[in-house]
Amino acid sequence: MRHSAGDSPAPGRGLPGAHEPLPTVQERGRNAVERLLNAAEHTLESVGLEGATVPAIAARAGMSVGNVYKRFPDKDSLFRAVYERFFSDALASNEFALDPAKWAAIPTADVLSTLVTGMIEGYRSRRSLIRALLLYAQTHADPEFRSHAEQLRLQTLELFERLLRDRRTDIGHPHPERAIRFVVMLIAHSLENAVMSEGGGISSGDFLSHVPETAAELSRIVNGYLRVRGTERPRALSQSRR
């Protein structure tokens, strides 16, 4: 209801933001959950799975431990929510980035090189967090959750596969569908192994710290195995034809 000219001014009238409605209980609750998820994610990233205790997460979120348990019944439910959010956000981002229409004018070899580089950079930039989340899922006592967690991760790889399946005519492998699945899983497992390895995964070097070199080698492997058009190397003359 509007006040008339003779009404007394309401307390706070004229102050910045005073006209804005206070957040509802539901909004405050959602904001608190977001703060907790962000705090849990940052804690997992900085101190790993073992160090991410509820008190540490509560302190980072600026909340009491009791307030954490008002939103999540236990640490496992909090970590599940972090896992779900992280990989669901990654899937949404990749659904946009891997839309085949965005890549239509780009040669298949360049598509592969770009995507391989992007995957390596993604794993490198969030290495500590991804390690903690993978460790959480892989060691979880509930087989149903382990299966769900695996499927959530695989959904992004299926987008990669879809993009390559649309380019079957550029792939010279005699079984392109099977070959595409193989190389996508090969890249994913290679990167997950590198993330889980403290040293990085390639001899004594660091698989994820040298993105251009790693991307070049993985792209060469993938293009060669798939026999992508335009990347074939000329065969050397045999001794018998010299």
Q: pLDDT tens digits, residue range 85-140? A: 999 999 999 999 999 999 999 999 999 999 999 999 999 999 999 999 999 999 99
Q: How far is the C-alpha of 38 from the C-alpha of 78, rounded, in Å?
A: 11
* pLDDT mean over 46-59: 96
- Residue among 126, 123, 121, 119 nearest 46 (CA): 126
- What's the mean per-residue pLDDT of the chain? 85
pLDDT tens digits along 182-207? 999 999 998 998 898 865 445 545 77
Whether residue 238 is predicted with pLDDT greater than 60 in this model: the reply is no
CATH number of 24-73: 1.10.10.60
Q: What is the predicted pLDDT for the residue at 229? A: 87
Instruction: Read off the pLDDT band of 27 (50, 70, 90).
Output: confident
| Torsion angle of the four alpha carbons 148, 153, 156, 161, in this order, in degrees rounded to the nearest 10 | -90
Q: What is the predicted pLDDT for the residue at 34? A: 95
Q: How many Cα atoms occupy the beta-carbon half-sphere of 16 within 13 Å?
A: 0
Whether residue 25 is predicted with pLDDT greater than 50 in this model: the reply is yes
Question: Domain-by-domain residue ranges, the chain?
Answer: 24-73, 82-226
Q: How far is the C-alpha of 52 from the C-alpha of 54, rounded, in Å?
A: 7
* Percentage of the chain lying above the pLDDT 70 cut: 82
Helix (H) or strand (E) holding 147: helix 143-165
Q: Which is more confident, 47 or 153?
A: 47
Q: What is the predicted pLDDT for the residue at 230? A: 78
Instruction: Read off the pLDDT band of 228 (50, 70, 90).
Output: very high
Q: What is the predicted pLDDT for the residue at 121? A: 93
Whether residue 8 is predicted with pLDDT greater than 50 in this model: the reply is no
Q: Count H helices, E strands: the chain?
A: 9, 0
Q: CB within 8 A of 80, min separation 6: which ones?
A: 145
CA distances from 188 to 19, 149, 202, 241 (A): 51, 15, 15, 42
Range scoring the smallest mean pLDDT among 22-26, 150-154, 219-223: 22-26
**Residue for token pair 């006209």:** 19
Q: What is the predicted pLDDT for the residue at 180? A: 96
Structure token digits, residue 101? 């229409």
Q: CB within 8 A of 172, min separation 6: which ones?
A: 226, 227, 228, 229, 232
Q: What is the predicted pLDDT for the residue at 210? A: 85
> What distance separates the 2 farthest-apart alpha carbons in the chain?
108
Whether residue 239 is predicted with pLDDT greater than 80 in this model: the reply is no
pTM summary value: 0.81
Q: How far is the C-alpha of 103 from the C-alpha of 223, rounded, in Å?
A: 17
Q: What is the predicted pLDDT for the residue at 205? A: 55
